Amino acid sequence: MNNTKSNTSKPSYRYSIISISIVLYFLGAYLLLFLHSGRIDQLIKEQVSIVVELNNENSASDIKNIQSTIEAQDGVIEGSVKFLDKTNANDIMGDDMLLKDSNQESPFKDMITFRLSAQSYNDDYLDELDGKLMIEKGVHDVFYENESDVGIDKMVRKLSLLFLVLSIIFVGLALIIIHSTLSLSLYADRWEIKTMELVGARHSFIRKPYVAHGRIIGQRAFILAAAVLLATLIVLYLTLSYMGSLIYWPYVGLTFLILFVISTLITMFSTFTVVNKFLEQKLSDLHN
């Protein structure tokens, strides 16, 4: 067998590294989406605003008391409590078509908006919070979306199932593509493998350098895939403001660990089985 350096210089081995790294990249992307599905749930919940509509002619002290009451509640995100007068309320309600005439009075009342942490955003706590706020002086009504209305749980379950199915499909494709790629790469060495067997070399001795080289291919493919995947995450982190709160770096590390194990074990096992196949073939079968 040629030394490792000469083997790694072959175009077929470079093709193997690139092909395997592409599979690992997409597999890693789906793993990241699957692991972060729970954080997507949290992010959506924490972006939903709860609206407290106020009575007309509230004094400044009444409004301040209501804000203080809201800020004192468990689960309210710090800094999310905001007062909007009826003029600015139209902006957050998103219905600027109602004010076709700039002189027309706003149909909305003064309001206070705030957001809850993901752990507190559940139907029981929302109902409890609604009851507490409705007895406050100056509060006209409270508007919020239930968990079922937001559709978070249903959406997350669907996403999790989708990512699980896609991950299984990609693992299967990874096995097939990596095995086929290594088979093509080792096909040129089939005569050398058989020759070593004919001169009396033990099968374990013949397999050892090839399996070791398969491990190197897998690890180099992992390094390439991990570098591109990390670059993708950094670009998303720098360009999308919410990515900072969405990305959980321990999950990224776990994804890289899984990819490293998969790339190493699959390439070693595939190389082992391909070399065994050539060793078990007769000389006449090697021509095919």
CB atoms within 10 A of CB 27: 24
Residues 156 and 123 in one domain: no
Q: What percent of the chain has pLDDT over 90?
A: 13
> Which of 89, 109, 144 corresponds to the end of one domain?
144
CA-wise closest residue to 53 among 23, 6, 85, 80: 85
Residues 81 and 160 in one domain: no
Instruction: Say how many domains are in the chain.
Output: 2
Q: Which domain holds residue 91?
A: 49-144
For residues 178 and 176, give the distance between their C-alpha atoms in angstroms, rounded to a whole number.
Answer: 6
pLDDT tens digits along 66-117? 999 999 998 899 888 988 887 766 655 554 444 444 455 556 778 889 999 8
pLDDT class of 251 with cuts at 50, 70, 90: very high
Average pLDDT, whole number, for the chain?
Answer: 78
Residues 211 and 97 in one domain: no
For residues 275 and 196, give the distance between their C-alpha atoms in angstroms, rounded to a whole number.
Answer: 12
Residues 33 and 176 in one domain: yes
Residues 140 and 160 in one domain: no
| Joined tokens for residue 256 | 């890289």
> Which of 144, 168, 184 corresponds to the end of one domain?
144
Residues 132 and 271 in one domain: no
pLDDT tens digits along 122-142? 888 888 898 888 888 888 888
Beta-strand ranges (E) seen in 131-223 are: 139-143
Residues 281 and 157 in one domain: yes
- Residue 284 confidence (pLDDT): 57
Higher-confidence position of 198 and 46: 46
Residues 113 and 245 in one domain: no
Residues 126 and 183 in one domain: no
> Which of 106, 121, 144 corresponds to the end of one domain?
144
Q: Residue 107: which CATH number?
A: 3.30.70.3040
CB 180 within 8 A of CB 22: no
Residues 75 and 31 in one domain: no
CA distances in angstroms from 186 to 23, 125, 192, listed in the order given = 19, 62, 10
pLDDT class of 227 with cuts at 50, 70, 90: very high
| Joined tokens for residue 68 | 């203080």
Residues 128 and 156 in one domain: no
Residues 28 and 66 in one domain: no
